[in-house]
Amino acid sequence: MGNIIKGIPASRGLARGIVKIIKNLSDAPKFNSGDILVTHITDPTMVTLMAKAGAIVCDIGSITSHPSIVSRELGIPCVVNTKIGTRELSDGMDVSVNGLTGEIEIFEHSVVMNTNTSTIDTDIDSCLDSYVASVCAMDFSTFDDVTAWYKYDPLVAQPWLDYVFSIIHGIKEKGLNAREVARLFPNTSEIRGTFFFDMFSAHFTSFTNSEKMELFCFYNDMLKAICVDDPYAHKKNIIHSPEEIKQLVSTTQKASPDIARKLGRIISACYHVGHALYSDMHPTIVYDNFAPYDVADVYGPGHSVIIKDFGNLRAKEIWPESKHSPCDHIRIICVYKNVSPAVDSVSHITYDGDPIHGLVRAAIYVDGVEKTIDESYELAIALENVAITIFQKSQSADLEFKKKQYYSAKAYTFKKLAEVLGRDWHEPIPGMMAAAQGKVLYSMNWPEDKESIGTVVRSYLDPRIVTAENLY
């Protein structure tokens, strides 16, 4: 447990996020959705920031003060009268705010990177176990006619990872901590996916063992900072606290098989938009499945929750056609009975049970606004049309265009992080295109049996193994 600051509890709830000290309106550009707003006392110039805040902490105030009243209406935690909040807290700190007890806990996360050798071997082994399980569950023949990481990534491994290392150095210079950086990625599963691809790509570079270890620690630290449990997602993907889950399920309404099927079509449309926009390798720029969360204490034994989150449904910088997407973000909260979900390292989800008849409660939010299932169902057709249009254009394009779109998706993963560092997210694409221009795709001779595939994956990803493969 970290250090504790105490104040007067003014609005119930528990939130965890990154501290941003706000003195006046000039501090607004540094504030991101979900940040913890820490200030002497709020005022009307902070109205926009308060609407985006995960929680609010003030040096002064009472339960009837401006931040307290507004926080209760927004439904976010608030603690006032800490006396020392703006002195003891600083930008980038990882904290939890408990609006019931009035406690603000400071978590001690290193600035990226942590290379603690007492735990790193265990982390590497556990991480590789998860990736091997995910890869061995795949049928590689499904990649024959679509973009595949092992065909495209080796062509640009050196310029791409040179860019990633420049980002890592920028993070260190700016003093961002692991949790803050993780929240600038599209979602947790996209961190894991990019983690996999980059460790694989490192095999095709001139990087030393220590540099590969630094790359591993970059991603590893983010996962350990943002995940509540099992950072490598052996069978679960957990980033919400029990208190957050209780708050989310409180908005759900009674469901039925008809509602489950309607939600299924919306979910299917979102999955396909992710595949079309960002290829079959980076669809998690759009989707993530957070599960399983046990809510037996709320609804009784056998009940669990899945949060299905779909963001970045528009990427006009890559695909202008995505401007026709009717929304940019959809979140679906599902409460199931006698359905046990399992999520792997890149958000593939399986169910033990019947998710249609087992859905008992649900809620849906479109661009942050709660909607009825029927209202949201109308979005499915528009999203399906976007997916069809973009995928058809992609499949009919020549190889150089496909390269550009795939490498653009890789760079798009870093969009928010690059912007925080004052850089253009598009920056690495020209270098990658120059490296890949006119070259045939890399041919990977995968073994036939799953055990041998797992052995190959481990040898390529393990940063403790010094290997390099020169393509050309």
3-state SS string for 161-182:
HHHHHHHHHHHHHHCCEHHHHH
pLDDT at 469: 65
Is the domain of 258 the same as that of 378? Answer: yes
Domain boundary among 107, 136, 161: 107
Tokens at 150, concatenated: 């092992």
Tokens at 413, concatenated: 């993963």
Domain boundary among 394, 422, 448: 394
Is the domain of 389 the same as that of 266? Answer: yes
Residue 182, domain member (yes or no): yes
Is the domain of 260 the same as that of 313? Answer: yes
Dist CA 78 CA 75 (whole Å): 9
ω before 186 within 30° of 0 (cis)? no
| CATH number of 64's domain | 3.50.30.10
Is the domain of 285 the same as that of 383? Answer: yes
Residue 322, domain member (yes or no): yes
Tokens at 112, concatenated: 């990226």
pLDDT at 471: 54
Domain boundary among 394, 410, 439: 394
CB 335 within 8 A of CB 292: no
At 8, give phi and psi (nearest 5°): -90, 125
Per the structure, the complete domain to which residue 331 belongs is given by 242-394
Is the domain of 250 the same as that of 387? Answer: yes
Is the domain of 125 the same as that of 13? Answer: no
Residue 235, domain member (yes or no): no
| Predicted structure pTM score | 0.80
* Cβ count within 10 A of residue 406: 26
* Cβ count within 10 A of residue 395: 11
Dist CA 415 CA 427 (whole Å): 10
Burial of 11 (0-12, 13-18, 19+ CB in 10 A): buried
Tokens at 66, concatenated: 């401006």
**HSE of 22, CA atoms in CB hemisphere, 13 A:** 30
Is the domain of 310 the same as that of 442? Answer: no
- Give the model confidence (pLDDT) of 324-357 as tens digits: 999 999 999 999 999 999 999 999 999 999 999 9
Q: What is the mean pLDDT of each run of 10 residues along the chain (472 residues)?
A: 84 88 90 91 93 94 93 92 93 89 80 54 94 91 86 96 96 87 95 97 90 93 91 94 88 95 96 95 96 94 96 96 95 96 93 96 95 91 96 94 97 97 96 96 91 94 77 50
CB 104 within 8 A of CB 96: yes
Residue 403, domain member (yes or no): no
Is the domain of 319 the same as that of 215? Answer: no
Residue pointed to by tokens 């941003």? 20
pLDDT at 108: 64
Which residues is 307 bridged to in the sheet?
290, 333
Residue 471, domain member (yes or no): no
Cα Rg, the chain, nearest whole Å? 23
Dist CA 281 CA 273 (whole Å): 13
- Structural domain total, the chain: 3
Residue 48, domain member (yes or no): yes
Is the domain of 276 the same as that of 386? Answer: yes
Is the domain of 215 the same as that of 137? Answer: yes
Is the domain of 368 the same as that of 292? Answer: yes
Residue 425, domain member (yes or no): no
At 264, give phi and psi (nearest 5°): -60, -40
Is the domain of 247 the same as that of 357? Answer: yes
Residue 418, domain member (yes or no): no
End-to-end alpha-carbon separation of the chain, Å?
51
Q: Are strands 55-58 and 253-254 parallel, antiparallel or unpaired?
A: unpaired
